[in-house]
Chain A
Amino acid sequence: MLEISSVQAGYDRTTVLHGVTVTVPKDGVATVLGHNGAGKSTLLRAAMGLIKPRSGTVRLDGEDITHLAPHQRVARKMAYVPQGQQSFPHLTTAENLRLVADGRPDGGAATAETLDLFPALRELSGRRAGLLSGGQRQQLAIARALITRPRLLLLDEPTEGIQPSVVAEIEETILALTRRGGLSVLLVEQHVGFAMRAAQQYYVMEAGRVTSSGEGGTAAEQAVRAVLSV
């Protein structure tokens, strides 16, 4: 589905990714784990086109998308939920969603389906996104991504900084989405248990390099925890 091959990328003169190769299987989940500063978020930003790789390629279903702008990747059914529960704070919840639904023939139906996944957002439709709690903002961020009906979803630490009750809800929704098929996910996550439960493939990153990888699943969780505790 998504092949990130030997990507080197960074900011200004700093190189963050040193030839990273990660593959997301079709209709499957790949997770990237690692400590803070390992380059996980930079990898997702490079995959989405927010930073240009200095070398290496990004391919989506065989098509080289390395030099496409982020909005062109969205048109190819990629979606991205960035770190930090990002929203458009001065737009209402409804406007945040309509922004993505505007101009899409199936925008209304996709919004209704997505709100079925996050019913709490219906009651908050008139509230400015900047006034929502962290968990509500994250639900809004995931909903915004899902309205595009993506084939590939990039999730950057979706449970970070969110109260435990909402974390469980978000985890359940993501697991349900991956189980129903037709969606591939590249998940960056600190919460190892959830990540390994969701993923068919895992990658551990350290200092901008993939240092360990393998098949996902709960059986591999202890091995990954051992690698991460070093």
Chain B
Amino acid sequence: MTVILNQSLTGISIGAVLLLIALGLTLTFGQMGVINMAHGEFIMAGAYTTYVLQKSISSAGVSLLVALPVAFLVAGAMGALLEWLLIRRLYTRPLDTLLVTWGVSLMLQQLARDIFGAPNVQTAAPDILTGNIALGGGITFANNRLFILGLALLSVLALTLILKLTPLGRRIRAVVQNRDLAEVSGIATGQVDRITFFIGSGLAGVAGVALTLVGPIGPTTGTNYIVDAFLVVVVGGIGQLKGSVITAFALGILQSVLEYSTTVSVAKVIVLVAIVAFLQWRPQGLYTLRTRSLA
């Protein structure tokens, strides 16, 4: 029982990382219908932002706290620039968008290699995040994982409040539901697209900061997570925040428990088969909302 509980907690922490990465995609892929293959590189940008800040700020705790907003701004600016330069010209051509953003992804990876070198780099975690919390009965939860869980839940809360309660959130939801009607209601839909992309990409940057706490980071750090993050958004129901939250934790726990009883590879295969079977039964995912067509 202790083992299962420990594995479930590990699963929750994996789910928290997935959720952080998928949150940005929920906006750019889910709400806007853009398959942005460079999303992983915005995660990488957030991770390297932490690395660079740590070189100039000696305290690991302070640099981590500073890195969160700075990484959000850096990755967000990269996303907004990508949207403005390329993606807005390709909204009606999803396959071209996929190819172009994949190319951008490769370029950004190479740029990172040129600047930081090919080997992975390690950032120092603040002391407070290096230990474990004992929950009793042999069950423990790593402090860094708890921090990431808190960060993920805080990000979900912030995004939910923005979407539900602010004028910007209303505009984003309106553009998703009926673009033409939003435009004739006086909303500059192109500007809303750019801001949405900024927030979605910025959240990827925050995910990158979180990833520096779980291991070394390198030019392909983001790419390693991107497929799982897309799966979270698709299974959760495209454009639905609550679907992404449930799916991220469900996949994390499933993966973690299966890894214990089988192997990492077999667990991955079983999870993928389960996802395919689920999507055969419910192609629209857990929850649905009409978005810009990907057809």
Contacts and interface: CB of A to CB of B under 8 A. Distances in A.
Contacts of B174: 88, 91, 99
A87 B181 CA distance: 8
Given A89-B177, A90-B177, A70 B184 contact: yes
A48 B173 contact: no
Contact of A82 (B181, B187, B190): B181
A58 B91 CA distance: 27
Interface string A78-103: 01101000111111000100111011
Nearest to B171: A99
A74 B186 contact: yes
Contacts of A91: 170, 173-174, 177
Contact of A86 (B171, B173, B181): B181
A226 interface: no
A223 interface: no
A103 B185 contact: no
Given A82-B181, A88-B181, A103-B167, A75 B173 contact: no
Contact of B170 (A71, A74, A79, A102): A102
Interface in B180-226: 180-190
Given A82-B181, A102-B167, A103-B167, A88 B173 contact: yes
Please classify how large the interface on chain A is, using the bins under 10, 10 to 19, 20 to 34, 35 or more.
20 to 34
A88 B179 CA distance: 10
Please classify how large the interface on chain B is, using the bins under 10, 10 to 19, 20 to 34, 35 or more.
10 to 19
A50 interface: yes
A144 interface: yes
Contact of B173 (A74, A79, A90, A102): A90
Nearest to A86: B181
B93 to A, nearest CB: 15
A168 interface: no
Given A95-B170, A99-B170, A102-B170, A50 B184 contact: yes
Contacts of A82: 180-181, 184
Nearest to A81: B184
A100 B173 contact: no
B177 A70 contact: no
A2 to B, nearest CB: 15
A159 B182 CA distance: 22
B177 A99 contact: no
A99 B167 CA distance: 7
A71 B191 CA distance: 11
B289 interface: yes
Contacts of B187: 71, 99
Contacts of B171: 99, 102
Contacts of B190: 69
B178 interface: yes
29 contacts: A50-B184, A69-B188, A70-B183, A70-B184, A71-B185, A71-B187, A74-B185, A74-B186, A82-B180, A82-B184, A86-B181, A88-B178, A88-B182, A89-B177, A90-B289, A91-B170, A91-B173, A91-B174, A91-B177, A95-B170, A98-B167, A98-B170, A99-B167, A99-B174, A99-B187, A100-B185, A100-B186, A102-B167, A148-B186
Given A70-B184, A71-B187, 8 more contacts: A50-B180, A75-B186, A80-B184, A88-B174, A88-B177, A90-B173, A90-B177, A102-B170
Across the A-B interface, the 4 shortest Cβ-Cβ residue pairs: A74-B186, A102-B167, A70-B183, A80-B184
